[in-house]
Amino acid sequence: MSSERIDPFSDGYDVSGVTADGAAWLASAGTYPRSTLALWKEHADAPVVLPCGTVFDVVSAPAVFARRMVDRLWDEGPGSGPVATFRGRMLLFAAPGTAQRLPSLLRWEEFGRTGAIPPLLCHGNGDAVTVPPLLATTPPTSPDSRWLVAPDTRHPWLPGPEILLWAAVRAARAAVRISIFPPADQDAKVYDVSRRR
């Protein structure tokens, strides 16, 4: 590997879609944004822990269910904010205050008790999350940590709790398969009638 330092914010360099404005938006969540940006200039391939609650909240969901949510947001709704993967879960960046409100909305809809919606971890004020590296490494050193929808502006649109509730309910309903046939009786005796005389 070359000892030449790479500037992840220079034009023409692949940074997984994270632009300089997107990096500045992410860094603004921290106490020392300039220090975070300086760290990223030196180590763009390193994940960083950022606080939630002021610039964004994060809803962490199991990858398959979150994929259904993101599909609903893009196919039927307004789209999503930034989305990342981290250790088998998807991180959906949301408007501040979402982490406080979304769990009560899920309880109100009674989807939290039925098991139709898997546990959603809501990270808000007082919490912190690990965001993926800005730099797309090839081959990926951590395939579990990458941007799916990268921040690319200083003021990205972020879904609020009502929109994420809508997406979760739609994703849960899409996962339910309806059959016109009754479930098979597991204790029924089955006879092979194909060998009749």
Q: How many CA atoms lie within 13 A of 127 on its CB side?
A: 20
Per-residue confidence (pLDDT) for residue 47, from 0 to 100: 87
Residue 151 has pLDDT above 90, yes or no: yes
DSSP character at residue 123: E
Contacts of 36 (CB under 8 A, 6+ apart): 26, 27, 30, 48, 50
The alpha carbon dihedral of 52, 85, 19, 45 has a sign of: positive
Longest C-alpha distance within the chain, in Å? 86
pTM of the entire predicted model: 0.79
Q: What is the mean pLDDT of residues 83-101?
A: 96
Please report which confidence band the pLDDT of residue 180 belongs to, taking 50, 70 and 90 as the band edges: low
Q: Given pLDDT bands bounded at 50, 70 and 90, which one contains residue 135? A: confident
Q: DSSP character for 76? A: T
Q: Read off the pLDDT of residues 42-62 as tens digits, 9 standing for 90 and up.
A: 988 888 999 999 999 999 999
Structure tokens at 116: 């139709």
CB atoms within 10 A of CB 99: 24
- Considering only residues 8 and 34, tell me which one the structure prediction assigns the higher pLDDT: 34
Mean pLDDT, to the nearest integer, of 136-151?
Answer: 72
Distance of CA 30 to the CA centre of its chain: 20
Say how far apart CA 171 and CA 167 lie, in whole Å.
6
Residue 148, C-beta contacts closer than 8 angstroms, at least 6 positions apart: 70, 83, 84, 85, 90
- pLDDT category of residue 27 using cuts at 50, 70 and 90: very high
Percent of all residues in the chain with a pLDDT value above 90, rounded to a whole number:
59
CB neighbour class for 185 (10 Å; exposed up to 12, middle 13-18, buried from 19): exposed
